[in-house]
Chains A and B, each alone.
Chain A
C-alpha cells in the first residue's frame, strides 16, 4: 500500500515563478508533515514542516499548506530561484509509532525541481 503520493515527478519553473508540489497521504495517524530538500550527491535537509493543528506555515519564500480533510499538504516556493533547483520530498510520520518515542519518516517519490534563469 502506497501511503504517500507525491506529484508532480518533475517540475520546470522560470526564475521568479511559483513552484507547487503536492503530497497526498492515506494514513490519518500522521502527525508531522515535513518537506525535505536534497541536492545531488547530498543527504536531504529539512526545509519546512507543519503540525496538523494549523493549516498553513510560512518561512521566507517557502509555505506549507495543509488540508486535513483532503489528506493533502503542499509546498509552495515563491519567487523561485535557480538555487532552489533540487529534489523535494514530503515525508510525513507518526510520532511514537509502535510504542517507541519516535516515528519513521515515510518518504514520497520525490519531485525534481528545475528553475531556469
Chain B
C-alpha cells in the first residue's frame, strides 16, 4: 500500500529559528501533497496544497511567508516554519494524493513541533 513518510516526528526549536519538515511518498509519485495543522483534541486544518513544480496554494488566513512550502520532486514536499514562535507549536501532518486517483489520500505520521 501507499506509504507517506514524515520527518522528523518530533522537533524542539528555539524561538526565532526556522524548522523544516519533510514529507516523502515512498512507493508512489505524488503530484499533489497537502499540509495540515492540528491542535490538541481538535480537527485537522488544511494549511496549503502543494503541487510539484509550482507554487503552493495557501488557505485563507495562513501566512505564506511564515510557512514556506516547496514541492521540488514527485516524492518530496517540505514545510519550513520560519522565525518560529511558541504559538507555532502544533502537530503538523502532510498528506499525499496518489497519482490521478482522486480519492487516494495517504497521511504521514505527523510532526510534533514545540517552540521554546
Contact = CB atoms under 8 A, between A and B. Distances in A.
B44 A44 contact: yes
B6 to A, nearest CB: 7
A104 B49 CA distance: 9
Contact of A102 (B32, B43, B91, B106): B32
A42 B97 contact: no
Given A43-B93, A45-B107, A109 B100 contact: no
B43 A32 contact: no
Contact of B103 (A36, A44, A95, A109): A95
A41 interface: yes
A49 B112 contact: no
Q: Chain A: interface secondary structure?
A: loop
A112 B41 contact: yes
B58 interface: no
Nearest to B4: A43
B67 interface: no
Contacts of B105: 46, 105
A96 B70 CA distance: 23
B44 A107 contact: yes
B57 to A, nearest CB: 10
Interface string B15-39: 0000000000000000010100000
Q: Which of A32, A34, A107 has the most CB of B within 10 A?
A: A107
Contacts of A42: 109-110
A17 B6 CA distance: 35
Nearest to A94: B102
Closest 4 CB pairs of A and B: A43-B107, A95-B102, A107-B43, A43-B93
14 contacts: A34-B103, A41-B91, A41-B112, A42-B110, A43-B6, A43-B107, A43-B109, A44-B107, A46-B106, A49-B103, A96-B102, A101-B102, A110-B42, A112-B41
